[in-house]
Amino acid sequence: MKSKNTIRVTQVRSTAGRLPTHKQCIAGLGLGRIGDSRELEDTPAVRDLIERVRYLLFVQGDGR
């Protein structure tokens, strides 16, 4: 069985004072506070969320 590609994201900056849509993106990624990490499936939808708030995140395993 083929394993799915994953991306590990860690929130490294606060959402205080950010746009409401950026706060929603962080919540959509399953993050909420500095230091939170999630391993997410590498899909176009997840990549879009990451791109919108990349300045708040540390991203590993995205092939960039």
Q: Report the pLDDT value the prediction gives residue 4, as an integer from 0 to 100.
A: 77
pLDDT at 1 over 50: no
Closest CA to 56 of 27, 23, 13, 22: 13
What pLDDT, in 10s, does the model give residues 13-52?
999 999 999 999 999 999 999 999 999 999 999 999 999 9
Whole-prediction pTM: 0.87
CATH code for the part of the protein at 6-60: 3.30.1390.20
Domain boundaries, the chain: 6-60
Question: Helix H segments across 1-64?
Answer: 20-28, 44-52
